[in-house]
Every structure is written in structure tokens, then in C-alpha cells.
Amino acid sequence: MRRPQVGYLLVAALAIASASCVPSDPAEPICARPGDSILVLQAQSVPSATRLPCIAELPIGWRFGGSLVRDDGSLLWLDHDRAGMHAVEVELMGSCDVSSGVEVPPAPDEVGMRTYQEPQRLEPFVGTRSLVFEGGCIVYRYRFAPDSEPALVIEADSAVSTVHRADVVAEVHETLDLTVCGADAPPCEG
């Protein structure tokens, strides 16, 4: 028997239905909850991506600002009490241009990905960090407010991590008996 594939409308319905049952913001992609509707929507926005951005733990002063999921990727952002609104934007894409960045060793939660940094200005801090992996790319854009400490980038990096798409696929299959198409699953149709 062929299992149904999760489509955009079904996922949107799940997101709306589960919003009342989730104690935190339903648009907040929590790493420890791979079955959250927002992570499923991210997975569908870039079906080739094998990693998805998520919130690991927010240090004091940081808060989840919001997210946006499109047909060709997704965006989430963090606000900070000193670094400002949209201090960090994290975008999931199918590919990205890293030609102006410098490759650096990956952080412990980035093992298996190629990591590039491009600091552009220290005061106020502006820079980009790109994580390239099979099927996609995650780009962190730092745009700190004037007079905020550049060292806040360390806190921001600890706040955001990634979850393997396979974990999202498995969680949706186990809890809903549905299949999320794309990488680590059947290809998406039309």
C-alpha cells in the first residue's frame, strides 16, 4: 500500500490545527521537536535539503522573532534586547554563493557541512555565515544595532542549530503515518 505524501495544503492544515496545542510559538522551529509543523514546512520549501535550521536554546536577551516559509526556501530571525530587531536572520535555500566568504572549521553541530564566514563590519557588527551541505545551504546574516557587542555573535550561533531532515521525515511518518517527500524520502511530485 502506497503511503500518502504530505502536500503543502495538508501541512498548512496541520500547522493551523496544531497551533492551539503547542505551548510556544507554532512558527518557532525547535530542534528537539522534529515533528513540529514549521520544520515540516521548511523541509517542503527546499525538498533537496538534508539539514534544516532550528532553535537550539535561546540565551538571555535573545528571542525568536518570527519565520517565513516560501516555495523556494524559508527564513527565521532572532531579536535581541541590545543587538536589535532582526539581529540575526537565518535563511534555508537550495544553494548559495560562498565565493566572497572564507572557509572555516565547522562548529561541533556543523560537522559534515562546509562553513564559510564573511565578516563585513565590526561596528556595528555585520557579517554572514554560510553552511553548505548536501542539497542545500543555510545562511546566517548578522545585522547588529550600533553600540552592541560583536561578541553577541557567539550567543547567536549557540541559539541556532540544525536538525537532520531524516529526523523530520521519521517523526512525521511515526506520528502521522505520512511521508514528507524530498531528500531522505520519495521524490516530490509536480
Rounded Cα–Cα distance for residues 173 and 182 (Å)? 14
pLDDT value at position 190?
Answer: 60
pLDDT value at position 122?
Answer: 87
For the CA atoms of 89, 127, 57, 147, the dihedral, rounded to the nearest 10 degrees, stands at -100
pLDDT value at position 17?
Answer: 38
* Cβ 124 vs Cβ 80: under 8 Å: no
pLDDT value at position 3?
Answer: 40
Q: Using alpha carbons only, give the angle 70, 114, 39 rounded to the nearest 5 degrees.
A: 30
| CB neighbour class for 163 (10 Å; exposed up to 12, middle 13-18, buried from 19) | buried
DSSP, residue by residue, 4-49:
PBPPHHHHHHHHHHHHTT-SS-TT--BTT-TT-HHHHHHHHHSTT-
- How do the pLDDT tens digits run along the chain, 190 residues long? 444 444 443 444 344 334 333 345 667 899 999 988 999 999 999 999 999 999 999 999 999 999 999 999 999 999 999 999 999 999 999 999 999 999 999 988 899 999 999 989 888 999 999 999 999 999 999 999 999 998 899 999 999 999 999 999 999 989 988 888 888 667 777 6
Query: What pTM did the predictor assign?
Result: 0.84
* Cβ 143 vs Cβ 87: under 8 Å: yes
